[in-house]
A and B are shown apart, each in its own frame.
Chain A
Amino acid sequence: MKSNMNDLLSEGPKVINIGLRSFYEASETQGIKVVHIDWKPPAQGDIETIKLLDRLL
């Protein structure tokens, strides 16, 4: 799983897409490996809980 900057440039992107679905689709169109994440705000967006998670997870 080690990938540094120059591996990225020499191998080309293999993408994990977090957020806008259109970017996932654009990557697919270009024929690269891409996995989309069905993202939701962490802890339903509750700041207190997010802070708690930052310390625990």
Chain B
Amino acid sequence: MVVQTHIIKQKYRDSVQLMQAASQASRMEGIEMASVLMGTPQNKPLLEEARLLTSLAQNAGPNDIIIAIKGKSHDEVQNAINFVIELLNKEVVSSIDEATNYRSIEGALTDLPEANLALISVPGMYAAREVNKALDKNLNVLVFSDNVSIEDELRIKTRAHEKNLIIMGPDAGTAIIKGIGLGFANNVKPGPIGLVAASGTGTQEICVLCHKQGIGVTHAIGTGSRDVKDIIGGITMLDGIEALEKDPSIELIILISKPPETKTLTKVLERIKISSKPVIINFLGKKAGYFDHEGKSITVTTLEEAALTAAAYFRKKELKIKQSSTDNIHAILSQMQFQKLKGRYIRGLFAGGTFTYEAAMIISEILPKTHTLWTNVHLEGTHLIPNPRKSQGHTLIDMGDDEFTSGKPHPMIDQFERTKRFLREIRDPEVGIILLDFVLGYGSHPDPISDMKLAFNEWIKIGRPMPIICHVCGTELDPQDYKSSIEQLEQWGVIIMPTNAQMAKLAALFVLKIE
């Protein structure tokens, strides 16, 4: 054992700082004991007791720092001494994490008394409780959490409505408020469009497509998936329409949802009728003409149509359906190779729930009845797949469904499950074409395309003719690098479609053409 002391002359550090230095040094390799203290008469006996009081230390003055260290070897002891000297020369660096300042809404409000929105993403069983605390403080709420009971949803929405507050959700993945994305949301330019939407990725698609048409979106109010069930009665949807109607920055309202249940539908349609601003309706599955009133409301079939119709409205001040041209799809089809194709089935692995639903709708309509389309979304004209983890025939899977996400992150954040599934599909000889959606924006994976790089390389290596079609829902303003994402996909030879609807159409026409 070696005992060594070092004196730093005429330097003061308070005893706690010195003790901390000692405690760190004593944990170093080969060190048995470390003591760092001021050379005061009270401190020297402490050193003596620990048998560290060398003659050098004995002679230290009360304003000198004594570093006394006992260890296995001279080198290790010297090393520890140097460490302490360096540590005492350093300024204190704060490791504080501003995000851990508060534990409760009440506490956070002392810091941000002007807060007007609580964003809640705690596990579902606790969510309603937190919502109530937020409502106590007169906050609007966006509930990202799912698994909130329908009874709780009714209670909190009723309570919020009475307080003239809005609850977006539960299970509202996306919202934009005055141009600010909340949850999963794309960065789009602000403008005269306002959305009320029961669908997260549906909202993202419309916002992105409007942005690309040069029209901005200022608000997108998420209602949550069950708002239009009769038990809830569309409380958020109706309040949302009302709020957008009152907001002077909004000139056109787009409504996206699965078709509301009967009583709620009546209420919503009555409300649209008296709206002072025109409404574009996209009740997934409802056809054009479903609820059209000259200049007041119009029904569109796809997300893409909603955006195009909105853009046309601002160009021509006329509420009329605008569909995309199919030229692009046919041009791509004509260039596709069909000779060496082995498989003939479509496999779609989706991150977005509405994307799955919309694609299923489009494909099932195009394909003749002899084709069976298996999905894990409930949609007339398709079949519920017995095992969502195993494809059969034409299969479209919403990988953000509870089956895949309970206890695991959503595929928009973590693509582990989807990548695994993708690798299985590219080796399946029955597969003819694969569909993938990539959703960019706030909240999403920082680079979902590079994330699947190895999987795409694998597909290239296999070399079998089996086209992959992708749709990237994103803008050049998103935090991810949109441009290089697209370039990357092109480099790999992936077909990129501008909208989810066009991706689905292309896939269906591809299958028809094989036959």
Contacts and interface: CB of A to CB of B under 8 A. Distances in A.
So, do A and B actually touch in the complex, CB under 8 Å?
yes
B28 interface: no
Contacts of B320: none
A13 B122 contact: no
B246 to A, nearest CB: 5
A19 B144 contact: yes
Given A8-B116, A23-B183, A33-B112, A16 B139 contact: yes
A41 B116 contact: no
B165 A20 contact: no
Interface in B151-200: 163-166, 177-183, 187
A18 B144 CA distance: 10
Interface stretch (B87-95, B126-134, B454-462): B126-134
B114 to A, nearest CB: 5
Contacts of B118: 15-18
Interface hub of A16, A33, A50 (most chain B Cβ within 10 A):
A16
A38 B102 CA distance: 6
A23 B116 contact: no
Interface stretch (B103-111, B361-369, B419-427): B103-111
Interface in A2-57: 2-24, 26-27, 29-30, 32-42, 50, 54
Nearest to B126: A41
B443 interface: yes
A11 B178 contact: yes
B138 A27 contact: no
B103 A38 contact: yes
Interface string B268-283: 0000000000000000
Given A8-B117, A9-B243, A9-B247, A36 B219 contact: no
Contacts of B130: 18, 39
B105 A7 contact: no
Given A8-B177, A15-B117, A42 B126 contact: yes
Nearest to B239: A5
Q: Which of B137, B164, B249 has the most chain A CB atoms closer than 10 A to its own CB?
A: B164
Given A9-B178, A41-B126, A23 B102 contact: no
Interface of B: 98-105, 107-109, 111-123, 126, 129-130, 134, 137-140, 144-145, 163-166, 177-183, 187, 219, 239, 242-244, 246-247, 249, 413, 442-443, 479
The 10 A-B residue pairs with the shortest CB-CB distance in the complex, in nearest-first order: A19-B121, A12-B178, A3-B116, A26-B442, A4-B164, A36-B99, A20-B121, A35-B108, A38-B100, A5-B166
Given A19-B122, A24-B99, A36-B108, 6 more contacts: A16-B118, A20-B144, A33-B112, A35-B111, A37-B103, A37-B107
30 contacts: A1-B113, A1-B137, A1-B138, A2-B138, A3-B140, A7-B116, A8-B140, A9-B219, A9-B243, A9-B249, A12-B178, A14-B112, A14-B114, A15-B117, A16-B105, A16-B108, A16-B117, A17-B121, A18-B119, A20-B144, A22-B443, A26-B182, A27-B182, A30-B181, A30-B442, A36-B101, A38-B102, A41-B123, A42-B126, A42-B129
Interface of A: 1-24, 26-27, 29-30, 32-42, 50, 54
